Amino acid sequence: MSQFTEALNEQTAHEFAASQQYVAIAVWYDGQTLPQLARHFYRQAVEERNHAMIIVQYLLDARKTVTIPAVSEPRNEFADPVEPVRLALSQEERVTEMIERLAHQARKEGDLVGEQFLAWFLKEQLEEMASMSDLLRTVERAAETNILLAEAYLAREAVGDHGESPNAPPAAGGAL
Ligand SMILES: [Fe+2]
Ligand SMILES: [Fe+2]
């Protein structure tokens, strides 16, 4: 197996782990009766799951080995409503670095198809880092007075693309 194929398989674990972390964050917000924040992260969890399945479909199409990984345990405890978004933003920043490393590896191996496949992910990471920074700013500002201001904001404004990326590569079994 090429290093690139191996690293792509590892990336599915990171995407599933991101999905699991967002489920944990959504459930935590739900437990705090902050339904809009919960809804936002339930949706993000599905998006991350779709990212994993997009990579799986690519590996299938490229006739490469696919291994569905175990997923590391997410964080379930948070001190206040800002902390989960801070964690989410640093997670997105880490994933961006991972995708960049993957793209470098594809280039190093002369795998132009693989490199081209990752272009969508790089664009998606830019979008996710931007929308998560927006959300962090909103939640931080609201936390200074009343966190329900963040709920009202999320009920009113669309943050992120809500999973609507019509140009996304196909996901194994279909995107959810
Ligand atoms: Fe992702
Ligand atoms: Fe993400």
In this predicted model, what pLDDT tens digit does every residue of 48-78 receive, in sequence order?
A: 999 999 999 999 999 999 999 999 999 999 9
Centre of ligand 2 to C-alpha 125, Å, is 6
Ligand minimally distant from the alpha carbon of residue 11: 1
Say if residues 150 and 142 touch (Cβ distance below 8 Å): yes
Which pLDDT belongs to residue 152? 94
Q: Give the three-class secondary structure for 133.
A: helix
- What span, in angstroms and rounded, lies between the C-alpha atoms of 78 and 162? 24
- What span, in angstroms and rounded, lies between the C-alpha atoms of 176 and 129? 21
Which pLDDT belongs to residue 159? 82
List, as one string, the DSSP characters of 19-60.
HHHHHHHHHHHHHTT-HHHHHHHHHHHHHHHHHHHHHHHHHH
Centre of ligand 2 to C-alpha 2, Å, is 25
The pocket of ion ligand 1, defined by CB under 5 A, consists of 15, 48, 51
Q: What is the mean pLDDT of residues 154-176?
A: 84
Centre of ligand 2 to C-alpha 25, Å, is 14
Say if residues 136 and 102 touch (Cβ distance below 8 Å): no
Q: Give the three-class secondary structure for 66.
A: coil
Paired tokens of 145 = 């007075």
Which pLDDT belongs to residue 166? 72
Provide the H-helix boundaries in the chain. 3-31, 35-61, 83-108, 112-145, 148-156
Summarised one tens digit per residue, pLDDT across range 88-138 is 999 999 999 999 999 999 999 999 999 999 999 999 999 999 999 999 999
Q: What is the mean pLDDT of residues 5-9?
A: 97
* pLDDT > 90? residue 3: yes
Centre of ligand 1 to C-alpha 48, Å, is 5
* pLDDT > 70? residue 162: no
Centre of ligand 1 to C-alpha 7, Å, is 15
Which pLDDT belongs to residue 157? 87
Centre of ligand 2 to C-alpha 85, Å, is 12
Q: What percent of the chain has pLDDT over 90?
A: 93
The domain defined by 3-156 folds into Ferritin (1.20.1260)
Centre of ligand 2 to C-alpha 82, Å, is 18
Q: Give the three-class secondary structure for 108.
A: helix
pTM of the entire predicted model: 0.95
Which pLDDT belongs to residue 32? 97
